[in-house]
Structure 1
Amino acid sequence: MNQQIRKSPDTARGMRVWPEPDRVFDLRYAAFLETVSHLRARLHRYCARMTGSALDGEDIMQEALFEAYRKIELLDDAQALRPWLFRIAHNRCIDFIRNRRTRHAAEAFYADDDVVQPVEPAGPGAGRAIERLVVHLPPKERACVLLKDVFDHSLEEIAEMVGSTPGGVKSALNRGRAKLAALPAQPAAAPPHDPELERLLDRYIALFNARDWDGVRALTSADARLQVSDCYSGLLSGSPYFVEYERSELPWRVRPGAFEGEMVLVVDRQYGEVWRQAYLVRIGATGGVIKSISDYYSCPWILEMANAEGIYPGLLAGIVSLPTSPSPPPPG
């Protein structure tokens, strides 16, 4: 984060500032945890819509929270914590978009739109439709439309978050709204057909459900990375990942699925006689070898977001089951 974190100009307006005693860091950390506990789902929703992926949004949110935690001693105004977290997450999203080169493609698509007349929001209830379409906007317009029309921030608040001015935000907002109004209906994306990846995932699922951990490890590279949200980020070889699944008291099974146009693994948990989808696992592979595993077991907001009515129409309530080869019966 390159922006300077500003001190509160005064306390006469009732603004709560950090105290000076020795326990200042402990107090900041406690306030940080309290704020994060209430803000995470909302922060994830913003990152997911900025990146166009609920899973990428979760990864970026984790990075943003870690960055904020490392820099918490720089924050002098307790009331600035919430917008500060949004600003860090926003900057991380912009970096992600630039790295994926989506900004250039989006801006080139609308290169001729130099002057746009003001356009009002589509009206109450349009927020979810906007969320699905903002990915087609350039990053600044995307952020301004989200923060104003979905999250209901003021122009001044948005300007501080995105590093602009209220006038610049208003202009970006008008452009973004006009482009959204002109967009055609967007069909739900289907995952690309990748026979090699499908075979690898089928093999992984069969071995995983059979608790053949040596067989599962044989499918991964020596330097495979593991990320378990809120728990672990590092080498798979140095983690107790498979041991934790072996020790699990609640029966589980893994099956293939599709989420936001990407092949994923769906972990189901058994409650009585009923199996329910619990969370997603993302597998990254190169050359028929697994290079990364991202496990989202501690992120219930991802499925809540996917299953919310109207957010992912046509995507099997967010998750699509894909056919797979026969696997051992579920534990029980």
Structure 2
Amino acid sequence: MNQQIRSSRDTAQGMRPRLDPEGLFDLRYAAFLETVSHLRVRLHRYCARMTGSALDGEDVMQEALFEAYRKIELLDDTLALRPWLFRIAHNRCIDFIRGRRARQRAEAGYAGDDIVLPVEPAGQGAGRAIERLVVHLPPKERACVLLKDVFDHSLEEIAELVGSTTGGVKSALNRGRAKLAALPVQPVAAPAHDPDLARLLGRYVELFNARDWDGVRALTSADARLRVSDCYNGLLSDSPYFVEYERAELPWRMGQGAIGAEIVLVVDRLYGDVWRPAHLVRTHAAGGVIDRIADYYACPWILEMVFEDG
């Protein structure tokens, strides 16, 4: 979008290389940025499945990456970056789950001692099926099943990541697999959406597509917050957000969509003669106005996951 955004993407999602006291580039940060560039999609997938949402997963992953970036000086061995990043992301996911008290919790109750095999044999689509089901598991079981049956980590690696023993991982893995195998097959009901929010966002989309920025601003609160992935986090009024859409090189249009029970905004781009979904925008409203906007324009992996899940 703007130069600020483009420059932040050029430095691996807004994390700029640091200099040592003598002005020399610190190789730890080079290794960090390189690792993040290759690992980010996998980290997002893990966080998304742990939190139960592709958008929440992106938010949690970004927090984890910035935490890791701030603490990189504490890591002596750059070869340990990958498990270290997963561990920080895992801890952030646990914090997120604990903080969302209204979350549906899975029933406990498996006490068997026999080894429980994975829910499905390895093969096309098996991992994705497990990924979609693990949201029904408690956090530790969810993490163990994901890390073993989807990401193929060893028991020892999982134990270090979740702060447990190999025996504890085996037990959690068995319980999780057993619960997944026992889940009933249920039809997916159409989610119920807030009609007032749908009307508000419908008007927002109408004005946005008309480039009526004064009208759009009138639908937002005076202290509305904006976060553009990796690029900006602050007051909407202090940002060039609408100006950058006005200046966008590729034609675009906005519409409404849904991820589960959540209404989201979908930005399409015109490629040749074809309109294609490009990225998602998340909003929050209170008192009849929008008070938070999160624009995920630089995160194509979110749409990929949404399309996978249907």
Q: Would the TM-score normalized by the shorter structure come out above 0.5?
A: yes
Q: Name the CA distance, whole Å, in 1 between partners of 2:293 and 2:21.
A: 43
- Is 1:40 aligned to residue 36 of structure 2? no
Rate the CA distance shift 1:305–1:220 in 2: closer, same or farther, 3 A.
same
Secondary structure at the counterpart of residue 153 of structure 2: coil
Q: Name the CA distance, whole Å, in 2 between partners of 1:256 and 1:35.
A: 35
Secondary structure at the counterpart of residue 106 of structure 1: coil
- How big is the shift at 1:190? 3.5
Task: Give the structure-2-normalised TM-score.
Answer: 0.89
Q: Which residue of 2 aligns with 1:159?
A: 159
Partners of 1:284 and 1:293 within 8 A in 2 = yes
Q: Name the CA distance, whole Å, in 1 between partners of 2:86 and 2:75.
A: 14
Q: Which residue of 1 aligns with 2:114?
A: 117
Q: Name the CA distance, whole Å, in 2 between partners of 1:146 and 1:224.
A: 36
- How big is the shift at 1:114? 3.9
Secondary structure at the counterpart of residue 117 of structure 1: coil
- How big is the shift at 1:303? 1.3
Q: Name the CA distance, whole Å, in 2 between partners of 1:22 and 1:188.
A: 60
Task: Give the structure-1-normalised TM-score.
Answer: 0.83
- Percent identity over paired residues: 78
Q: Name the CA distance, whole Å, in 1 between partners of 2:235 and 2:78.
A: 36
Q: Which residue of 2 aligns with 1:297?
A: 297
Amino acid of the structure 1 residue aligned with 2:29: Y
Partners of 1:189 and 1:261 within 8 A in 2 = no
Partners of 1:283 and 1:294 within 8 A in 2 = yes
Secondary structure at the counterpart of residue 293 of structure 1: strand
Q: Which residue of 2 aligns with 1:16?
A: none
Secondary structure at the counterpart of residue 285 of structure 1: strand
Amino acid of the structure 2 residue aligned with 1:113: Y
Once the two structures are superposed, residues 279-317 of structure 1 have per-residue CA deviations (whole angstroms, 9 ceiling, x without a partner) of 111111112110111111100111122223xxx2xx3xx
Q: Which residue of 2 aligns with 1:217?
A: 217
Partners of 2:50 and 2:135 within 8 A in 1 = yes
Q: Name the CA distance, whole Å, in 1 between partners of 2:23 and 2:184.
A: 55
Mean CA deviation greater in 155-164 or 255-264: 255-264
Amino acid of the structure 1 residue aligned with 2:45: R
Q: Name the CA distance, whole Å, in 2 between partners of 1:124 and 1:172.
A: 20
- Is 1:76 aligned to residue 73 of structure 2? no
Rate the CA distance shift 1:101–1:39 in 2: closer, same or farther, 3 A.
same
Aligned length: 288
Amino acid of the structure 1 residue aligned with 2:252: W
What are structure 2's unaligned runs of at least 5 residues?
A: 1-19
